[in-house]
Amino acid sequence: MTSCALKLFFFIFIFIFFSSSNPSSIEGAFVGTYGINYGRIADNIPSPEKVVLLLKQAKIRNVRIYDADHTVLEAFSGTGLDLVVGLPNGFLKEMSSNADHALSWVKDNVQSFLPNTRIRGIAIGNEVLGGGDSELSAALLGAAKNVYSALKKLNLDQTVQITTAHSQAVFADSYPPSSCVFKENVVQFMKPLLEFFHQIGSPFCLNAYPFLAYTYNPTEIDINYALFKPTQGIYDPKTNLRYDNMLDAQIDAAYMALQDAGFQKMEVIITETGWASKGDTDEPAATADNARTYNYNLRKRLAKKKGTPLRPKTVLKAYIFALFNENSKPGKSSEKYFGLFKPDGTISYDIGFNSLKSDAANSHFSSSKAARLICVSVFLLMI
């Protein structure tokens, strides 16, 4: 082989080898079934760099944040972790009324960090519909459309997915699941939003908390049913389906509401679910033992890669709430204690994850990158 041919072969080899593992390759907004919400309403949690180490150590790839903080985006650069950033509710009216502002926001907070930071989605607001603010509800669709248009102009619409998360407050009734429909005051905003999401291939994102349902109705709900523990469950006579846990029932209730609205093929993804490990006196179910039980059983349930009774072939995907206890969150005491980890990186309770190792920082260099460099070095020696 001539020297010129060797050089040509070498450059082709380098191009294929490194481009095959390019972090910008599209693998979907959610890989696998398990993700985590990385909330930061706290003054004592680890730095974003240490959070990356903790996530990689726990092998949690799918991560949601509630803003587009640049220190977080920089820390996630080159890590291989898939990130969904958030456009906070306070931005919705501005983004809805001004397409140029939406374009600038996407350029500054998404495009400028790609491809090294694997931003796979933008969550437009959080729990907007059903919240009682009609002006904010009216702005949601316009904001989603303008942000999507910005992605399309920047040729990012096939890489970054648009979503928005809904609470149970959008439903008129969810028991039994087959009776679930959207509230009358929500439908006027929800249907056009669902139509747009259907056009662009986005899922219906639901924040579902059996913890809250049980807390509000402890006399009517069996706590074992809420915790994935053995129980009689419930029977839905209309669909002839039996539910042995509340989360599956909440998800299928959402599917029934979507079907009633004319969107029966839309996928439901859980964007928040969890159980508080501590709470106020009127939150007796908020204990470390119950939190461990719920999150351990949920992790097992997701690992089975199965669907719900109503959608058995649609594998359930869920983001757990949350990564850390957040000491600055307002509201009930339970709001501060949803974390799988304490602020110092130790586990809140054991569901199979390990505390952050003190020597983890020394292993930040990716083994896959090292392997590629070794292969290139060997190839060069062979030449």
**Which residues 6+ apart lie within 8 Å of 110 measured at CB?**
68, 85, 119, 122, 151, 156, 160
Rounded CA gap, 183 and 260, in Å?
Answer: 12
* Contact by Cβ (8 Å): 95, 145: no
- Amino acid of residue 332: K
Task: List the one residue out of 30, 147, 141, 173 whose CA is nearest residue 86.
Answer: 147
* Residues marked as catalytic: 127, 272
Supply the pLDDT for residue 2. Answer: 55
- Could you tell me what percent of the chain has a pLDDT over 90? 84
What is the pTM assigned to this prediction?
0.88
Region 325-349: what's the mean pLDDT? 97
- Amino acid of residue 24: S
Question: What is the DSSP track for 48-78?
Answer: HHHHHHHHHHHT--EEE-SS--HHHHHHTTT
pLDDT tops 60 at residue 91: yes
Task: List the one residue out of 314, 312, 326, 174 whose CA is nearest residue 254.
Answer: 174
Region 182-207: what's the mean pLDDT? 98
Q: Where are the alpha helices (DSSP H) in the chain?
A: 3-19, 48-58, 70-75, 92-97, 99-109, 134-153, 184-200, 210-216, 223-226, 246-261, 288-303, 367-382
- Give per-residue pLDDT as tens, 236-288: 999 999 999 999 999 999 999 999 999 999 999 999 999 999 999 999 999 99
- Give per-residue pLDDT as tens, 2-59: 554 444 444 444 444 444 333 333 346 799 999 999 999 999 999 999 999 999 999 9
What mean pLDDT value characterizes the chain? 90
pLDDT tops 80 at residue 289: yes
pLDDT grade for 194, boundaries at 50, 70 and 90? very high
List of domains in the chain: 34-341 (3.20.20.80)
Q: Dihedrals φ, ψ of 324, to 5°?
A: -125, 155
The tokens for 324 are 């850390």
Region 62-66: what's the mean pLDDT? 98
- Could you tell me what percent of the chain has a pLDDT over 70? 86
Region 227-238: what's the mean pLDDT? 97
pLDDT grade for 383, boundaries at 50, 70 and 90? low
Supply the pLDDT for residue 187. Answer: 97
Angle at CA 247, nearest 5°, toward 241 and 253?
55
pLDDT tops 90 at residue 297: yes
Local structure of residue 47 (DSSP, 8 states)? P
Rounded CA gap, 343 and 332, in Å?
Answer: 19
Supply the pLDDT for residue 3. Answer: 52
pLDDT tops 90 at residue 382: no
Q: What is the dihedral of CA 155, 122, 364, 27, to 10 degrees?
A: -60
